[in-house]
Amino acid sequence: MSEPSAISGQRTAPGDGQSGDPSHLSPLTSGLPLSPNQRAWRRFRRNRVAVVSAWFLAAVVLLVLLWPLLSPYSPVAISEAQFQPPDTKHWFGADLHGRDLLSRVFYGARISLLVGVVGAGVSLVIGVLWGAVAGYLGGRWDSVMMRFVDVLYSLPSIVFVIVLLTTLNAFLAKAQGKFISADGAALLRFTGLFAGLGAVSWLTMARIVRGQVLSLRTRGFVEASRVLGASHARILLSHILPNVLGVIIVYVTLTVPSIILYESFLSYLGLGVQPPYASLGSLIADGVGQLNPVRVYWWLILFPATLLALTLLALNFFGDGLRDALDVHAERR
């Protein structure tokens, strides 16, 4: 654990950068201790895969948002070009109804991203709070809170989601035209989808966080800050949670793809995004439905699946980069 900064007499923060890395000797930062966030940001920038992933995600989001302005084709416009293979007119080919696949893929990506991010956000907030509080309090409160999670856990999520969505659909079928417009109904259906997916995916997060907190709260540094008179909220937020952050981030990046995949499964059952709307999952499910040994419409699966896989890969690498950057242990390396 040699500290080159100590040798050259500079007051850089301890452990800033790995030894042998010259960046912390640059004139811009010399002599000034960096805040933890600045150090994290610097570590993140150094991770090439994560930076590329971040740019890729930004590009996808931008393209997805701007595509309606750029595209000559509407994602729902039916044409004569049935099962048209990719060519100069339709870059990604066309589907069963002659709809331009490129437009549909970008359109579906928008919905998939929205579903994944909102669902993961719900799971992040509820799951972390619930798990951290239960693990920190321990004893009886831990039992009560975790038995509640057990109850929800033990209900197969698919039963809950199916009941929620079929109830919502039946309600909307009745209400539509009377006091809800078609747009309002579509919006409500999406909200139901978010709520359902979020409500079934915070449980694992809560369990994982609770397990980590349970083993952290008996550690010396927690005892020490308690002895020093720190409040429970302070111990939990500034001493325990930063130590769990790595696991949380990795788990969120795993939750986004799993929610997007869950949505594609629901689409497979006909309960997800309803036609003519589409998600990447429902596009793949449609393509799989056209699979047969005689004629292969490969573009129907390949393009949506590639964009889905690339997006999810980028999300994961991005999360990994964040984790490595924020990792409190990295400082001791």
Partner 1 sequence: MYFLKRIAFMIPLLLVISGLAFALIKLAPGGPFDKERKPATPEIERALAAKYHLDEEVWQQYLRYLGGVAQGDFGPSLKYRNHTVTDIIAQGLPVSLALGGLAFCFALGVGVPLGFFTAVRKGRWEDYAGSFLAILVVCVPGLVIGPLLVMALAIHWRWFPVALFASPWHAVLPTLTLGLYFSGRVARLMREGMMTTLHAEFIRTARAKGLGETQVLLRHAFRLAVLPVVSYSGPLLADLLTGSFVVENLFQIPGIGVFMVNSSLNRDQTMVVGLVLLYAVLLLVLNLLVDFAYSVLDPRVRYE
137 binds partner 1 (CB under 8 A): no
Whether 250 contacts 316, CB under 8 Å: no
> From the list 197, 300, 301, 326, which residue makes contact with partner 1 (rule: CB under 8 A)?
301
Nearer to partner 1 by Cβ, of 59 and 77: the residue is 59
Whether 203 contacts 149, CB under 8 Å: yes
Query: Phi and psi (nearest 5°) for 180?
Result: -130, 135
What distance in Å separates the CA atoms of residue 118 and residue 195, rounded to the nearest whole number?
A: 9
184 binds partner 1 (CB under 8 A): no
For residue 80, the minimal CB distance to partner 1 (Å) is 28
How many residues would you count in the chain? 333
> From the list 65, 66, 224, 296, which residue makes contact with partner 1 (rule: CB under 8 A)?
296
What distance in Å separates the CA atoms of residue 268 and residue 285, rounded to the nearest whole number?
A: 6
- The residues in 216-235 that bind partner 1, with binding defined as CB under 8 A, are 218-219
For residue 111, the minimal CB distance to partner 1 (Å) is 16
Nearer to partner 1 by Cβ, of 78 and 114: the residue is 114
Window contacting partner 1 (CB under 8 A); options: 8-16, 83-91, 234-242, 281-289: 281-289
127: three-class secondary structure by DSSP: helix
144 binds partner 1 (CB under 8 A): no
159 binds partner 1 (CB under 8 A): yes
- The residues in 17-76 that bind partner 1, with binding defined as CB under 8 A, are 49
Which one, of 204, 219, 193, 303, lies nearest residue 250 by Cα? 204
- The residues in 236-275 that bind partner 1, with binding defined as CB under 8 A, are 246-247, 250, 254, 257, 261, 264-265, 268-269
153 binds partner 1 (CB under 8 A): yes
- Amino acid, res. 175: A
> From the list 154, 179, 228, 229, which residue makes contact with partner 1 (rule: CB under 8 A)?
154
> From the list 166, 191, 231, 238, which residue makes contact with partner 1 (rule: CB under 8 A)?
166
> From the list 59, 125, 163, 175, which residue makes contact with partner 1 (rule: CB under 8 A)?
163
Query: Phi and psi (nearest 5°) for 228?
Result: -75, -5
What distance in Å separates the CA atoms of residue 174 and residue 176, rounded to the nearest whole number?
A: 6
The four Cα atoms 97, 98, 100, 106 give a dihedral, to 10 degrees, of 10
- Amino acid, res. 143: S
For residue 284, the minimal CB distance to partner 1 (Å) is 6
Nearer to partner 1 by Cβ, of 103 and 264: the residue is 264
DSSP H stretches of helix in the chain: 4-7, 36-46, 48-70, 101-137, 139-154, 157-175, 182-216, 220-227, 232-234, 241-268, 280-289, 298-326
For residue 187, the minimal CB distance to partner 1 (Å) is 21
162 binds partner 1 (CB under 8 A): yes
Nearer to partner 1 by Cβ, of 4 and 211: the residue is 211
Window contacting partner 1 (CB under 8 A); options: 124-132, 192-200, 224-232, 314-322: 314-322
Q: And the tokens for 106? A: 């970008």
Whether 94 contacts 82, CB under 8 Å: yes
DSSP 176: B
What distance in Å separates the CA atoms of residue 164 and residue 192, rounded to the nearest whole number?
A: 8
180: three-class secondary structure by DSSP: strand
Nearer to partner 1 by Cβ, of 39 and 323: the residue is 323
Applying CB under 8 A, the residues found at the interface with partner 1 are: 49, 138-139, 147, 150-151, 153-156, 158-160, 162-163, 166-167, 170-171, 204, 207-208, 211, 214-215, 218-219, 246-247, 250, 254, 257, 261, 264-265, 268-269, 281, 284-285, 288, 291, 293, 296, 301, 305, 308-309, 312-313, 316-317, 320, 323, 329, 332-333
